[in-house]
Structure 1
Amino acid sequence: MEQVKLGIIGVGNMGTQHAKYLQEGVIDGAVLTAILDKNENRTKELNSVLNQDVQVFNDEEAFFESGLVDAVIVATPHYDHSYFAIKAFEQNLHVLCEKPAGVYTKQVREMNEAAKKSGNVFSMMYNQRTNPLYEKVRELIREGELGEIRRMNWLITNWYRSQSYYDSGGWRATWAGEGGGVLINQCPHQLDLWQWMTGMMPTRMRAFCHFGKYRDIEVEDDVTAYAEYDNGATAVFITTTGETPGTNRLQINGDRGKVVVEDGKLNYWRLRVSESQFNREYTGGFGEPECWKVDIPITGKETSHTGITQNFVDAILKGTPLIAPGEEGIKGLSLSNAMQLSAWTDDWVKFPLDEEMYYKYLKEKIANSTVKKEASSITLDVKGTY
């Protein structure tokens, strides 16, 4: 294969963006050849802006049987991510899936199994992994510069959304339409980065989610979560869509110092002697280790969506290692599922997550969702919705 023929499934906001840069020839070794969207009015609009050699489909069987694509970008609503990914794998196609991996881990686990069985390339659109700031934090942690991680705090409240935003679509911020609120819609990148940078998943979590606290919606719009880890480390994750001005501040403390990422900058304080060594050896009563504020060189630039797509294509053509392997999508989703489940049960949630319990509660939420009549065609099962 000299060139990857790419198809896009779902051409809402994100799907349209993918189509735009693919047609501009930004991705080496790839060409957009087909689009699938069930909305006929939308595809009629697309026909006027797409290259003539891009075929538009409303029927999924015709799309998959066309032979026009080697790989697909899945950019549908959340519930359909796993459904279309699995179908693509069954057709021996490579898959790049938009975030989140799905709505609940049970369906995502089946998607991962289908990917493994197919042997094809599977990637997630975790474009924040291309941000040099977060890449550097990961490097500092993985190479031991911070020592053993002790505490993580992420305050991410710059997701402000007005009521008019939620009113713009009857499916928005509903259990049947989106499967959640700020955690599933706005925060998947941060939840992914949280575990990707540290290489750690919690042992248990306690979360407090407020549903419709600031807006007339049925899903979570304010969350505070506390997590514990095997090594004794703790973490706090706070997010909301109801505050302005918001903050995006990540702080990670380790045995040898701390990093803070805020306002597009990385600040690093390094202890000359680790805290644990200082504590063992120091006999002077009051005192603490000498600390240096260190300038860390940040090189490169964030390549975002095009960077992940190029990496996906290179993995197909050249065997290049993936920046965001698809099977890792379940990790960040496990965190958001655990936060919701903890709030629903008013209790601690242990990891690995009880997927059957979460699925049971989610089905109950969907059955009582305000959008259930509009979404009456949705059939919820392990494979997702369609």
Structure 2
Amino acid sequence: MSKVRLGIVGLGNIGKFHTGYLLEGKISRCELAAVSDAYAPSLEAFKAKGIPTFEKCEDMIRSGKIDAIVVATPHFLHTTLGIDALQNGLHTMIEKPISAQKADAERLFAVAKEHPKQVFAGMFQMRVEPRYIKLRKLIAEELGQLVRVNWIITDWFRTEAYYASGGWRATWKGEGGGVLLNQCLHQLDMLQWLCGLPSKVRGFCQLGQFHDIEVEDSVTCYLEWANGATGVFISSTGEAPGTNRFELVGTRGKVVLENNKLTFTRNDADMIEFSKTSKSGFAKPDVWNVEIPFDTVANAHAVLMQNFVDAILDGTPLLATGYDGMGSVELANVLLYSSLISQTVDLPMDSKAWETKLNELIANSKHQKKVVQTQVEDFTKSFRK
């Protein structure tokens, strides 16, 4: 194989974004060979370009026209379409979240492990952004032992029109969650990529606080790590203008990422050792104030896509495997589950417990929005028996 024939299923916002740079030739040794969407009008522009189109993704998967697929559909289809693609010999990249719930991710991973020759990737593009790469280096080499983590990310403001734009949006049945599973997945991925998964959490999530929806649109969550470090994660789609401030404290200082600036206030001495040895009750370590410069990536999604192609053709190691998607899904699930049962929950979480709870929420849904992507129904019946 000298070129990867790529198919994309799901032509919503992110699916169309991927097709854009692929059609512009931004990815070497790769061509957009087919697209699929259950909403027929979305296919017209691609038909006009001579690109094969499919209303049913299972037909595209079995068409022989593609070598690899990007799954960019509503959340519950990620698992079922990913399994179908892998079982039919396709290299597979899944958009976030890797699955709507941990139990589904476990099912997907089991199939991926049965097909080790196929590349199984996740679209977690924040892992290639220099600000987070430098932050990870600071944590590993300069910050000392992690003490406290605070991430306030409330600049996800969404209107009622946004939630009305798709019948699957903001429903238990169509999406499986709200701001945690949809908007915050990449931040939750970063949180566990940088700090590791916490050992226990307590979520406080408000359902439909700012919108006529049944899922969470405002959250305040407490996290605790095995070493005693604590954290708070706050997010909302109803707050304007909103804030995005990521602050991490270690025994050797504090690092803050806010307003496109990464600043490090470095203690001249480890604060614990200083406390033990100082003769003054009010003394503090001297500090250095440093602004850490970083570049930006023009298109981080394209970097991950090129890496996916290179992994298929050359065996290049993936920057983000599909398996790497578990941490963010687990955090999104467990923070919401903790809130719904009003209890602190230890990690790793019991995936069956959340699956049972989610099924109850779906069964008792009062919104009963019609899911316009009928594939959700069809594939769920086919694969989750």
Q: After TM superposition, is the score higher than 0.5?
A: yes
2:8 is matched with 8
After TM superposition, the structure 1 = structure 2 runs for residues 254-265 of structure 1, keeping only pairs within 5 Å, are 254-265=250-261
Tell me if 1:106 matches 2:126: no
8 A Cα contact 1:107 1:384, kept in partner:
no
8 A Cα contact 2:171 2:369, kept in partner:
no
Question: Are residues 382 and 55 of structure 1, via their aligned partners in 2, closer, same or farther at CA, if it must alter by over 3 Å?
Answer: closer
Q: CA RMSD, aligned part only?
A: 2.0
Residue type of the alignment partner of 2:335:
M
2:154 is matched with 157
1:225 Cα deviation (Å)?
0.3
- How far apart, in 2, do the equivalents of 1:346 and 1:384 lie? 32
Identity of aligned residues (%): 43
2:122 is matched with 124
Question: Are residues 384 and 241 of structure 1, via their aligned partners in 2, closer, same or farther at CA, if it must alter by over 3 Å?
Answer: farther
Question: Are residues 248 and 373 of structure 1, via their aligned partners in 2, closer, same or farther at CA, if it must alter by over 3 Å?
Answer: closer
Question: Are residues 380 and 335 of structure 1, via their aligned partners in 2, closer, same or farther at CA, if it must alter by over 3 Å?
Answer: farther
2:27 is matched with 27
- How far apart, in 2, do the equivalents of 1:384 and 1:204 lie? 32
After TM superposition, the structure 1 = structure 2 runs for residues 344-355 of structure 1, keeping only pairs within 5 Å, are 344-355=340-351
- How far apart, in 2, do the equivalents of 1:42 and 1:96 lie? 21
- The counterpart of 1:271, out of the listed 256, 267, 278, is 267
Question: Are residues 91 and 170 of structure 1, via their aligned partners in 2, closer, same or farther at CA, if it must alter by over 3 Å?
Answer: closer
After TM superposition, the structure 1 = structure 2 runs for residues 68-87 of structure 1, keeping only pairs within 5 Å, are 68-87=65-84
Question: Are residues 249 and 300 of structure 1, via their aligned partners in 2, closer, same or farther at CA, if it must alter by over 3 Å?
Answer: closer
- The counterpart of 1:182, out of the listed 179, 184, 196, is 179
- The counterpart of 1:343, out of the listed 336, 339, 344, is 339
The gaps in structure 1 that reach 5 residues or longer are none
8 A Cα contact 2:46 2:52, kept in partner:
no
- How far apart, in 1, do the equivalents of 2:343 and 2:87 lie? 39
| Alignment: residue pair count | 381
- How far apart, in 1, do the equivalents of 2:238 and 2:138 lie? 33
- How far apart, in 2, do the equivalents of 1:109 and 1:12 lie? 26
Residue type of the alignment partner of 1:337:
N
8 A Cα contact 1:79 1:385, kept in partner:
no
After TM superposition, the structure 1 = structure 2 runs for residues 322-333 of structure 1, keeping only pairs within 5 Å, are 322-333=318-329
| TM-score, structure 2 normalization | 0.94
1:139 Cα deviation (Å)?
1.4
Q: 3-state SS of the aligned residue for 1:289?
A: coil
- How far apart, in 2, do the equivalents of 1:214 and 1:228 lie? 28
- How far apart, in 1, do the equivalents of 2:297 and 2:160 lie? 35
- The counterpart of 1:195, out of the listed 175, 192, 197, is 192
2:38 is matched with 38
**Once structures 1 and 2 are overlaid, which stretch shifts more, 320-329 or 354-363?**
320-329
1:46 Cα deviation (Å)?
3.0
| TM-score, structure 1 normalization | 0.94
1:275 Cα deviation (Å)?
1.0
